[in-house]
Amino acid sequence: MTDDRKGFPAVDPLGMPPLAVGDTALTDAPPAHGSATVSDELALAYVSGLEVKSRSQWAYARRRFVRHRLAMISLVVLLVILGAGAAADWIAPYAYDEIDLENSGVGPTLDGRHYFGTDVLGRDYFSRVIYGIRTSERVALIVASLATLIGVLVGAIAGYYGRWIDNVLMRFTDLVLTLPGLAVLLTASAFLGNGNQYRVAVILALLFWTTLARIVRGSFLSLREKEYVEAARAAGSGDLRIMFRHILPNAMGPIIVNATLIIGLAILIEAALSFLGFGIQPPTPALGKLISDGQDVASQFWWLVTFPGLTIVLIVLCINFIGDGLRDALDPTQRTRA
Amino acid sequence: MFTFILRRLLYSIPVLVAASFLIFASVSAVGSPLQELRLNPLISEQTLQNITERKHLDEPIPVRYVYWVQDALTDKFGTPLFVQTPIWDDLTRVIPHTLQLVIMAELLAILIGVLVGVYSAIRQYSIFDYSATMASFVGFAMPAFWLALMLQILFTEVFLNSGVRVFYTSGLNSSDNTCTFCVDRVQHLAIPVIVLSVLSIAQYTRYMRASMLEVINSDYIRTARAKGLAETRVTLRHALRNALVPVVTVSALNFGGLIGGAIITETIFQLDGMGPYFINNLLSQDVYPVMAWLMITATMIIIFNLIADILYGYLDPRIRYD
């Protein structure tokens, strides 16, 4: 793990470095979990003549992740929140646009199941937040998959072929990084977004791939020199097969971690765009838009601003903890501790 | 060192040109001003023709790019589409306000980030360290606009209930009295600065902690301790100076992120800075001020990247460029 990490502390499209990247050079690995225990078990198994069960690298990674307590708790909480969003039609007590003037401006109460209160028009904010989560998770998943796809392709091609292709692609990546991220996103969604969630998602993805492209390029640059790549080439494998069957699986760790962090970042940025009025437009409910709706009456109805915001914080917090756990699990040499 | 700076400066020129073309081409391709204007019944055919002629809107994009560059260089970005007031006048009014905000936020972030990061590192795995880590995770997950609104609500409530004005929650000034001008400005900028610096504080804390840990575990620190130096002297003179290097460069590279944050904060607190200027022009679909804004910001980011590179080479002599 030397060159692969070069791109990691890089600044992402919005100038926010990935979480806890500063810890990459840390040597403060907690002794209790991870590979040390596993090799101890192996040694013990040999001594006592027990049969050793073979485990793949992924199985080890899974074991390490499951032992990361904070990440596991976060995963459960996140699944509950995202599950509620996905099942919004069944879970939400009211429709997101259901107006009920009798109950306008009700504070958070168990009465009538207005857990997060209602707004001026009597719309139930708990239901609106759940539908907002649905929108956010859809957008974030599209952004993460599309950005990962572009980033992997660009990074793989640049890293594998090197020379002028690498130069051209990486200079272009640098160029994208010199643009002020949020401003470019605002411009793009103002002129192209139309307030449509899928369009906004694609626009975000077109700016979010740069960090990953750098990481993947770094991995490919070092991995293409490995003996197994030479062996594959000697056996007659084509470039595509070597890139995606042989090198890519060995570069998956950072890719998965980065994709996770992109989900969190996408939720934050989409919320900011929608808040400023350039992201997702009504009637589609979006968490950022919910907050800006509550902004004008915030002094009387504090709950309209508070709860959608807390929801965003909780979701992104969970995603970042999971990303941290994944980093520890997939890349034991880079162990950090939250 | 000198040749490195010179080479790096020369390298910035093609980047700047490429960035300007990317900005112009993409903004002109997506925002077609004529189409919007045609939909507006208040604008006559004659005005439309005048605007088209003035901005050469009937030419293909590469030709318009040349006109635009010419305008930018000779006439300081010229005028917007609809009005005749020069873009430059507006920009010179708003940029200092934004710089005040951004620089104050950056200084606050570096100060707090370094202090917390260093203390976390020398008391690793203490309660303080865990709380600081937790706090920085929350800082990463917090949408700036939400924090801004919450603080705005809080301080407005404090004012309404107690009548004491601690901090203002919108605008840049309330009086033109020069005697209290500075105090007044600080009272107005305090909350925006705090909001803007939260994300940076979280970042710098993590960076500072990591780089400090790396340094304290290195051999020369053990040597310094072994020869009997006092612990504070080891920490402050030997460790801190080296551990600061990554944070200094990261903070220079962070400029783009701060400008993005400033757009949000200034809009919420109604500060007359670059953010609201940008947003208003986006809302009126006027691409010329938008492109000028993007170009100025991209130039500043390129300059700060340059500064980061030079600082890095200056602070860490092991890095050889030539």
Query: Mind listing the pLDDT tens digit for each residue in B272-304?
Result: 889 899 998 888 878 888 888 998 898 888 888
Whether A320 and B27 lie within 8 Å, measured CB to CB: no
| Vertex A55: Cα angle to A50 and A57 (nearest 5) | 145
Q: Token match 């400008």: residue? A: B259
- The one-digit pLDDT tens for each residue of chain B (322 residues) are 778 788 888 888 888 888 888 888 888 877 666 666 666 666 677 777 777 777 777 777 787 888 888 877 877 777 777 777 788 888 888 898 899 899 999 999 999 999 999 999 888 888 999 999 999 999 999 998 999 888 888 888 878 777 777 677 777 776 665 666 677 777 888 889 999 999 999 999 999 998 898 888 888 888 888 888 888 888 888 888 888 888 888 888 888 888 888 999 998 888 888 989 999 888 887 888 888 899 889 888 888 888 888 887 787 777 665 5
Q: Do B294 and A264 touch (CB under 8 A)?
A: no
| Site from A5, A12, A16 to mutate, B interface, most B CB atoms within 10 angstroms | A16
| Residues 6+ positions from B134 with CB-CB distance below 8 Å | none
Q: Give pLDDT, residue A312.
A: 92
pLDDT over 90, % of chain A: 13
A118 phi, psi to nearest 5 deg: -130, 160
Q: Which residues of B touch A300 (CB under 8 A)?
A: none
Is any Cβ of chain B less than 8 angstroms from the Cβ of A286? no
Chain A: closest CA distance from residue B260 (Å): 5
Instruction: Answer whether A268 touches B (CB < 8 Å).
Output: yes
Q: Which residues of A touch B294 (CB under 8 A)?
A: 179-180, 183-184, 187
3-state secondary structure of A94: coil
Q: What is the 3-state secondary structure (H, E, C) of A161-227?
A: HCHHHHHHHHHHHHHHHHCCHHHHHHHHHHHHHCCCHHHHHHHHHHHHCHHHHHHHHHHHHHHCCCH
d(CA B49, CA B177): 47
Residues contacting residue B34 through CB under 8 Å, at least 6 positions apart: B48, B52, B57
Residue A24's SS3 state is helix
CB pair distance less than 8 Å for A275 and B145 = yes
Residue in A189, A336, A192, A330 with CA at minimum distance from that of residue A273: A189
- DSSP summary character for residue A53: P
- Judge: A17–B209 Cβ closer than 8 Å, yes or no: no
Answer whether A159's CB lies under 8 Å from A219's CB: yes
Residue A130's nearest CA partner among A103, A94, A100, A79 is A94
Report the residue from B140, B203, B264 with minimal CB separation from A272. B264
Which option is the CATH number for B95-319: 3.20.20.70, 3.20.20.30, 2.40.30.70, 1.10.3720.10? 1.10.3720.10
Gap between the Cα atoms of A43 and B53, Å rounded? 82
What pLDDT does A37 receive?
56
Between vectors from CA B56 to CA B52 and to CA B60, what angle results, nearest 5°? 115
CA gap A193, A239 in Å, rounded: 38
Kindly report the nearest CA distance between residue B310 and chain A, in angstroms: 17
Nearest CB among B19, B133, B264 relative to A175 is that of B19
Both tokens assigned to B290: 């938008």
Residue spans per domain, chain B? 95-319
Question: Does the distance separating the beta carbons of A180 and B141 come in below 8 Å?
Answer: no
- As a whole number of angstroms, the distance between CA A71 and CA A260 comes to 12
Contacts of A302 in chain B (CB under 8 A): 153
Q: Which amino acid is at A288?
A: G
Give pLDDT tens digits for A317-331. 999 999 888 888 887
Closest Cα partner for B203 from B237, B252, B240? B252
Q: Is A180 on the interface with B (CB under 8 A)?
A: yes
CB within 8 Å: B263 and A188: no
Residue spans of chain A under pLDDT 70? 1-54, 112, 193, 332-338
Rounded (to 5) percent helix, strand, coil in chain B: 80, 0, 20
Q: What is the pLDDT of residue A332?
A: 60
Q: What is the pTM of this model?
A: 0.82
d(CA B221, CA A242): 45
Amino acid at B202: A
Vertex B117: Cα angle to A182 and B311 (nearest 5):
65
